[in-house]
Each structure stands twice: as structure tokens, then as C-alpha cells.
A = this chain, B = another copy of it.
Amino acid sequence: MAQEIERKFLVDTVKLAKLTGGKEIRQGFIPTSELTVVRVRISGDDAWLTIKGKNEGITRSEFEYVIPKLDAIDMLNELCLEPQVMKNRYCVEYCGYTWEIDVFLGDNKGLIVAEVELEHADDEITLPEWVTQEVTDDPKYYNVNLVRHPYKNWN
């Protein structure tokens, strides 16, 4: 079984170099219980169906499958919660790790988070100077929760 081990941080955009070469991501979530996430994602010509288990610390099980883009479009339009989550993703290499910086759009415009995927939950990483508060454990930053409680409605 694949595992996703990930830490998530807010970003100080003043300290961040200009981002280039991003990929637009459109994703939605099939309504499930809180124990599982079923995500449909499109980026460019590619699409994926991803099942994620419950978070245990910064680790969760993850099962990801490439699917036809037309299936993904149908599932996003017919089966997923509204609104869909739109973001541009930029990859930045830093001290041996690839950081993914998500610049959200639409109802989540203004929100920018940086994620780094680890091999082991206790891997020590050097934080870039442009990350600030860690939000790994804060459910409001889970993408699935950005559908029902988008950033524009946060206080």
C-alpha cells in the first residue's frame, strides 16, 4: 500500500522568488464520510482518481490511478461536491526535497500553501526561508474542506 507522508506550511510570498512553470489543477471530491477522501483531479491532459485513508499524524494511505480525462470531467460535473478546487501548482527544489506550492484560485483565491512529501514521518527537513506557520494538522487546509469552507469565507 502506498503511503502519503506530507507536511504543509503557509508561505511568505514577499520572500518567495517569482514562480514560473506552474500547472493548473482542477479537482473535486466525491462526498464521503470524514474517514476517507475520494478525489478526482485533472491537470493538463492527465487525470487521476485518488483514494486516501484517514490521517494518522502526517501519514495516510493513498491509492492513486490514472483515468481517462473524459471520465474525470464527467465525475467532476456529475458526482463531485461544488465548488471544485482550482489551483496552480509550482514545484520548487530546496535542500534535496521538492516543495509543491499551491496558489489557489476561485473561491480560495488568496490562499497559498507549500507542501513537502517525505519518505518517513520523522525525516528532518530544512525549511525554506519563505515558509511560515506549519498547518499540516489543521483540517481547514485540507483540500476537501476547501470545497465546503472556501478561503473567501474564512474570518
Task: Give Cα distance in the complex from A61 to B61, angstroms.
Answer: 27
Contact with B along A61-90 (1 / 0, CB 8 A): 101010100110011001100000000000
CB distance from A55 to the nearest CB of B (A): 13
Task: Give Cα distance in the complex from A12 to B76, angstroms.
Answer: 42
Tally of A interface residues using CB under 8 Å: 21
Contact, CB under 8 Å: A78 / B61: yes
Contact, CB under 8 Å: A38 / B33: no
Task: Give Cα distance in the complex from A1 to B61, angstroms.
Answer: 28
Contact of A31 among B1, B33, B49 (CB under 8 A): B33
**A residues whose Cβ falls under 8 Å from a Cβ of B:** 1, 30-33, 35-36, 38, 49, 51, 53, 61, 63, 65, 67, 70-71, 74-75, 78-79
Shortest 3 CB-CB contacts between residues of A and residues of B: A31-B33, A1-B74, A32-B32
